[in-house]
Structure 1
Amino acid sequence: MEGFGRLVGTVILTIVVWELVRWAAWRTLRERWQTSIGEWMRRYDVKLEHFRFIDRMWVRQTLLQDPELDKAAAERAKELGTSVGEVRVKMEGWLDEIVPVFNLFSYYKLGGAVATAAVRFCYELVFDHEGLAAARKAIPEGAVTVYVANHRSNADYIVLSVGAMRQVALSYAVGEWARVWPLDTLFRSFGSYMIRRGEKDPLYHRVLSRYLQLVAARGLTTAFFLEGALSRDGSFRVPKIGLLDYMVGILREQPGKEICFVPVGINFDRVLEDRNLTVEVADGPPPGFSAKLVSLGRILRAGPRLALGVFGPSWLAAHRRYGYASVQFGKVVPVRELAPDIDAVAQLPRKERFARMALLADQLMDRIAQVVPATPVVLVCRALDAGATDPGAVRRHVREQIAAFRESGRPIAEGLAFASVSRARRDSTLTHTELDDHIVDSEEADRVVDLAFALLRRRSLMELRDGKVHIEPRDLALIRYYARSLDAPSRRAADVKG
């Protein structure tokens, strides 16, 4: 019996010691992580809004006690012939989906490290840090800040977050495709909010709008993709105006509140989903989760070749397996610059208000389109789509495009492979001779074509035969897909969907 008592005592003591050691280790690690994150944020002058750290239960309860939502729930219960309690249970489920749980460690350490490694593994990121810094500086204190971007790929979220991480944390509207474990947990810890784009229940949209108005009005920096879905032919989609209308709805309660939009242009040498998108018929359904898994499988299968592309010896190897991913920022656009009477517009009935929101969305799409960068593959695909059939014609067309884009202010995505070209261009400004400019422009166009040809041939989208560029008919849709990424967005305000 005495031996049994000693055994029990030893087990208890072991458990206590283990728990103390575990607690001490966890506390030490947490303190080190917090110190490391704090130093990192001070080094890069990262500014995070206080509201980002508000407990999600407070947000949830605030919305559940919102008088406007109480009234909407009662009206919806009457329409459905059910109890208010049942409707509120449904509201609570929606809020559990929508409201994120921002985690500093997940964003800047765990998730940030994984996302950065993934982006660098696939792409060479060309990010407009100066443009982002200028935009942040131009936003008035206390203004509602909304980053509005075009939507090329599901990688947009990661590419934009990785590039902006050292300056600003963004809360994204993430669609249904990310509502699966572990993506939902990861995105929530980043501060992203989940939305159901196809939800028909009007009460859901009231709940979502009140959430956005609550967090944005209190200073949370948000971002969304104005097109609402990926383009299947490469051109801009007709913008959605639901989230835009929710943001403007802040003015119904706070007339005069400043709302500033920051246009963001994103483009790629290789969109991971391009084949899945282009094979769909024009009126077919949007790509589902299974299609995205196929894209992920292709990435994993290409892993060994990606590694070779990353660690190869030449400047061409610096251009990652999938080429450039580029993000550019436009000038800050106060909402009253586009719609001086926006306070009155916010008070209009839904139908009249949506007509004005459509015009506002078109204007924002124009601003976004102006800063979508021209990557090497896009420039060459535009030349091929225009009828250039030999390398010399492609180079001339690319050179003409670059000159025209520079004159109009469109950014050109140029990474490490263009370092020598950039130096030569700076040197040529000292001599101001047409010959020097001609040499630099020609070298730049040659480098663009060499990079793009290497990427396109690696994917078997083109080959050179007898001095001519040959493209199989089945691949023409992909060439046009990339060429259209720089086309002007269609102005179809009457067709804009909410």
Structure 2
Amino acid sequence: MFQTVEIPIWLVFLGGLTLTIAVLNRVLVPSVRWFFRARINRALRRVNERLQLSIKPFSLTKRQVLVDRLTYDPVVMSAVEAEARHRGIPNEVAAEEAARYAREIVPSFSAATYFLFGVKLSRWIAQKLYRVRLGANENASLEGIHADATVIFVMNHRSNFDYLLVTYLASERTSLSYAAGEWAQIWPLEQVAKAMGAFFIRRRSENPLYRKVLSRYVQMATEAGVTQAVFPEGGLSRDGKLRPAKLGLLSYILQGFDPAGTRDVVFIPVGLNYDRVLEDRILVGSELDEKGRPRFRAKVSTALWFFLRHLWMRIIGKWNRFGYASVSFGAPITLRSLSSDGRIGAEALGHKLIDAVGKVVPVLPVPLVAQVLLDSGTPLRRAQIVDRAMVLKDRLVDQGAHFHLPRGDFDYAVDVGLRALVRRKVLRETDEGYRLNPAQEPLLAYYANSIAHLPR
């Protein structure tokens, strides 16, 4: 019984390693986890104290809990049964599909990731690429929003850069839960987007079970007061014009809204505009397939060449930022105020929101100059462009448009627009004045269209 037993050294090492892991897992790891969780909770309380719109408990709930709540929601379970009957499959199979949709949709929001990483990265990238300016800002109206209201930012969709720009500029007010399309469902972008609170939607899916799961998530988040950000146009504008509203998400919000309930829904119109949209040529060059869906001629090699070329220009000191980027916030629109009984159709709501967003789209130097040259159709000298741009700007401002005047100097603003368009070979400077490059007319129209909807 007390004889010496020989054990291989590798077995001793393995046993020791197993014992060490067990001790760490049972004793040290919980303590370390508690320590960091306590620090995160203190930081979160400080963040919530300074935010105009606080982070709601729903956003901080563990993701698996939200997935389970959504999967076993009575409305979703009824849809599962209907789907199983329709397709002649077992309920368990349809239920697993619903669970898969729930896992795909539900975000895994991390306040630490959002404020310590996402906001700082968004600010750094935005300021490196653009001269970022805040346009019209309805601070007084925002401060008057009831603490129990669900706030939804509705924005025009000019670029995929919109996400970064609005995240940065809205970070002093709130965190935003974005509705993101399929384009973001690639590794590692998907994981980062979900940690930032984004929920994914399949915009073209006609699957009734998927639509029911998505609608219930939107309604649950809205009922819980989660601040959201949506693009009612449903996708990027390919010609620069403001597009009609898609009614999917809006109809889900309306279906779950109780006019007699304690929580109102408040829409904040947000207008975005750029002197240069990074993917403008891709958007203008897109075509529609046989089903009417856009097909973009985007290549990895093109993106890589774009990045390397601008990196080299930065190294040799010849790189310039892509002009101005501006965001304007409009006056809130409460859902209860839209009709006497608190009810309004999705189409009427979509039209009203798009109209409100359009009114706060900022006027920037490149769109202004582009509109002047497009209206003229003939070469113009600089003095003529300045005169016509001044007249156009005055008409727009008189109708309530917000114009960003760089350095407070209108002549300089026109020079900014002309220099950007000449550098990109959209305009040619000749003895007769500035002439449009015919091959680049669609690109000039793209920027002019960004303000074409504004009343004059």
Whether TM exceeds 0.5 here: the answer is yes
Match of 2:276 in 1: 270
Distance 2:136 2:281 in 1: 31
Match of 2:323 in 1: 323
Task: Choose from 413, 427, 430 the match for 1:448.
Answer: 413
Task: Choose from 359, 378, 387 the match for 1:370.
Answer: 359
Match of 2:3 in 1: none
Q: Retained in 2: the 8 A contact 1:145–1:221?
A: yes
Note if 1:50 corresponds to 2:57.
yes
Amino acid at match of 2:384: A
Task: Choose from 270, 294, 307 the match for 1:286.
Answer: 294
Q: Retained in 1: the 8 A contact 2:428–2:437?
A: no
Note if 1:473 corresponds to 2:452.
no
Distance 2:163 2:169 in 1: 10
- How many pairs are equivalent? 444
Q: Retained in 1: the 8 A contact 2:401–2:454?
A: no
Distance 2:83 2:14 in 1: 61
Q: Retained in 1: the 8 A contact 2:270–2:327?
A: yes
Structure 1 pair 210/254, CA: closer, same or farther in 2 (3 Å)?
A: farther
Report how far residue 236 of structure 1 moved: 1.5
Q: Retained in 2: the 8 A contact 1:366–1:489?
A: no
Q: Which has the higher helix share?
A: 1
Note if 1:245 corresponds to 2:251.
yes
Note if 1:332 corresponds to 2:340.
no
Report how far residue 389 of structure 1 moved: 2.1
Q: Retained in 1: the 8 A contact 2:259–2:336?
A: no
Q: Retained in 1: the 8 A contact 2:136–2:330?
A: no
Match of 2:72 in 1: 65
- Out of 451-460 and 197-206, give the one that drifted further: 451-460
Q: Retained in 2: the 8 A contact 1:47–1:168?
A: yes
Distance 1:445 1:196 in 2: 44
- Out of 134-143 and 300-309, give the one that drifted further: 300-309
Distance 1:459 1:360 in 2: 39
Distance 1:237 1:45 in 2: 30
Report how far residue 185 of structure 1 moved: 0.5
Note if 1:88 corresponds to 2:95.
yes
Match of 1:434 in 2: none
Structure 1 pair 79/4, CA: closer, same or farther in 2 (3 Å)?
A: closer
Match of 2:142 in 1: 136
Question: SS of 2:257's equivalent?
Answer: helix
Amino acid at match of 2:174: V
Q: Retained in 2: the 8 A contact 1:41–1:166?
A: no
Match of 1:172 in 2: 178
Question: SS of 2:246's equivalent?
Answer: coil
Match of 1:436 in 2: none
Task: Choose from 402, 424, 447 the match for 1:459.
Answer: 424
Amino acid at match of 2:321: R
Distance 1:91 1:2 in 2: 53
Q: Retained in 2: the 8 A contact 1:241–1:358?
A: yes
Question: SS of 2:294's equivalent?
Answer: coil
Deviation sequence 1:251-297 (CA, Å, 0-9, x none): 25965752211101011111111101111246763245x72746743
Structure 1 pair 466/25, CA: closer, same or farther in 2 (3 Å)?
A: farther
- Segments of structure 2 that go 5 or more residues without pairing to the other structure are 1-5
Distance 2:80 2:51 in 1: 45
- Out of 246-255 and 183-192, give the one that drifted further: 246-255
Amino acid at match of 1:385: L
Report how far residue 99 of structure 1 moved: 0.3
Note if 1:226 corresponds to 2:232.
yes
Deviation sequence 1:405-456 (CA, Å, 0-9, x none): 2222211234xx41xx2xxxxxxxxxxxxxxxxxxxxxx3211111112222
Question: SS of 1:116's equivalent?
Answer: helix
Structure 1 pair 15/463, CA: closer, same or farther in 2 (3 Å)?
A: farther
Which aligned pairs between 1:32-43 and structure 2 lie closer than 5 A? 42=49
Report how far residue 238 of structure 1 moved: 2.1
Question: SS of 1:386's equivalent?
Answer: helix
Question: SS of 2:388's equivalent?
Answer: helix
Distance 1:129 1:362 in 2: 21
Distance 2:259 2:93 in 1: 29
Question: SS of 2:450's equivalent?
Answer: helix
Structure 1 pair 30/413, CA: closer, same or farther in 2 (3 Å)?
A: farther
Amino acid at match of 2:410: A
| CA RMSD in angstroms, aligned pairs only | 3.3
- Segments of structure 1 that go 5 or more residues without pairing to the other structure are 346-355, 422-443, 491-498
Distance 2:165 2:410 in 1: 26
Amino acid at match of 2:360: V
Q: Retained in 2: the 8 A contact 1:366–1:488?
A: no
Distance 1:72 1:489 in 2: 44
Report how far residue 332 of structure 1 moved: 0.4
Report how far residue 108 of structure 1 moved: 1.1
Deviation sequence 1:434-482 (CA, Å, 0-9, x none): xxxxxxxxxx321111111222222222221115112221101000000
Deviation sequence 1:360-413 (CA, Å, 0-9, x none): 211111110000001111111011111162211211122112212222221123
Note if 1:203 corresponds to 2:192.
no
Structure 1 pair 278/330, CA: closer, same or farther in 2 (3 Å)?
A: same
Distance 1:258 1:230 in 2: 29
Distance 1:248 1:143 in 2: 15
Amino acid at match of 2:74: P
Report how far residue 55 of structure 1 moved: 1.4
Structure 1 pair 308/375, CA: closer, same or farther in 2 (3 Å)?
A: farther
Amino acid at match of 1:410: A
